[in-house]
Amino acid sequence: MLAKIFSWFSKDMAIDLGTANTLIYLKGRGIILSEPSVVAVKEDGRFKKVIAVGEEAKKMVGKTPGSIKAIRPLREGVIADFEVTEAMIRYFIQKVHNRGYFVKPRIIISVPSGTTQVERRAVKESAETAGAREVYLIEEPMAAAIGAGLPVTEPVANMIVDIGGGTTEVAVISLGGIVVSHSLKVAGDKIDEAIASYIKKRYNLLIGEATAEQIKINVGDVLPEEPYATMEIKGRDLVTGIPKTIIITSKEIQEAIKEPVDMIIQVIKQVLEETPPELAADMVDRGIVLSGGGALLKNLDKLIQKETGLNVTIAENPLHCVALGAGKALDEIDRLKEVMVQA
């Protein structure tokens, strides 16, 4: 009864705490916030003062003076800087949960399936310190599968591949539990790094992470066809030190990102090999669902289909799958409590 009264006076929320972006789902309203997981801090001796969070902080990446740092407190799906993560969570909670609601919110946060008990505890404590009444954790592949509309509580195989910024989560889900899963610390960020590294080696040109991401979005293609798409990019010449412009093609980007893409395909095959035969038989009919920002990499679905022989579909809203799934778990918390994980 008390819990019911609390829920009337608080704004319960689900948070997809991603390496690249943080999304917040508000009960009864859907996704109301999507901002980069970036915090700009000014370091003064041992103290860190938060100057900007989210969109505002992302604009500062690579452009700050020495005393200010634009940092991403989550690396490869886990908290790299506890203090800054807490400040970021608090900022997002306060932005959504204004003072008009005097009861602290109940929060569900998604975590990668490969996180340790210590890392989960850190996420939970960050949210509690930032002002949550109760904190539940849900594994990212489970949230992504729910968000993609898969029947996770039924006795059928649901295979999800969630390619985020820091991690790729591959899982087979049945009867409300994860049967087989692998978490790979190769995803969108590593693809960006591979692009920057290729351009540095091939053209002696230094580019920033924002430029590498733009290249991936505009001309990234794992099965390019002629005529190849091209893009003009600007960077700093490593020989002369002077800014320079070059033209790059989708064929070159295919070569640049081959290694991280191969690793993702490898982990998908590994999960398929470890899947029990009855569920593997289901997968022939049901196929694989892709979610996360990485699912939007051009022709990745076709390449996975070619490599596995299974039907591959991209979720309806790949970028929001985890947040929508965590939100659905929040809306139906009594029915879906079994899918939560302990910290």
Burial class (CB in 10 A: 0-12, 13-18, 19+), 193: middle
245 is in an annotated binding site: no
Contact 183, 312 (CB under 8 A): no
Contact 325, 102 (CB under 8 A): no
Q: What is the DSSP string of 182-217?
A: EEES-SHHHHHHHHHHHHHHHH-EE--HHHHHHHHH
Q: Determine if the peptide bond prior to 227 is cis (ω within 30°).
A: yes
343 is in an annotated binding site: no
287 is in an annotated binding site: no
166 is in an annotated binding site: yes
296 is in an annotated binding site: yes
165 is in an annotated binding site: yes
144 is in an annotated binding site: no
215 is in an annotated binding site: yes
293 is in an annotated binding site: yes
74 is in an annotated binding site: no
**What is the C-alpha to C-alpha distance for residues 53 and 144, in angstroms, rounded to an integer?**
25
Q: Which residues of 61-77 are buried (b: 16+ CB within 10 A; e: fewer)?
A: beebeeebbbbbbbebb
54 is in an annotated binding site: no
DSSP-assigned letter for residue 221: B
Question: In angstroms, how far is CA 84 from the centroid of its own chain?
Answer: 18
194 is in an annotated binding site: no
129 is in an annotated binding site: no
Instruction: Specify the length of the chain in residues.
Output: 343
**What is the C-alpha to C-alpha distance for residues 329 and 192, in angstroms, rounded to an integer?**
32
211 is in an annotated binding site: no
Feature table: binding site for ATP = 19-21, 165-167, 213-216, 293-296
Feature table: binding site = 19-21, 165-167, 213-216, 293-296
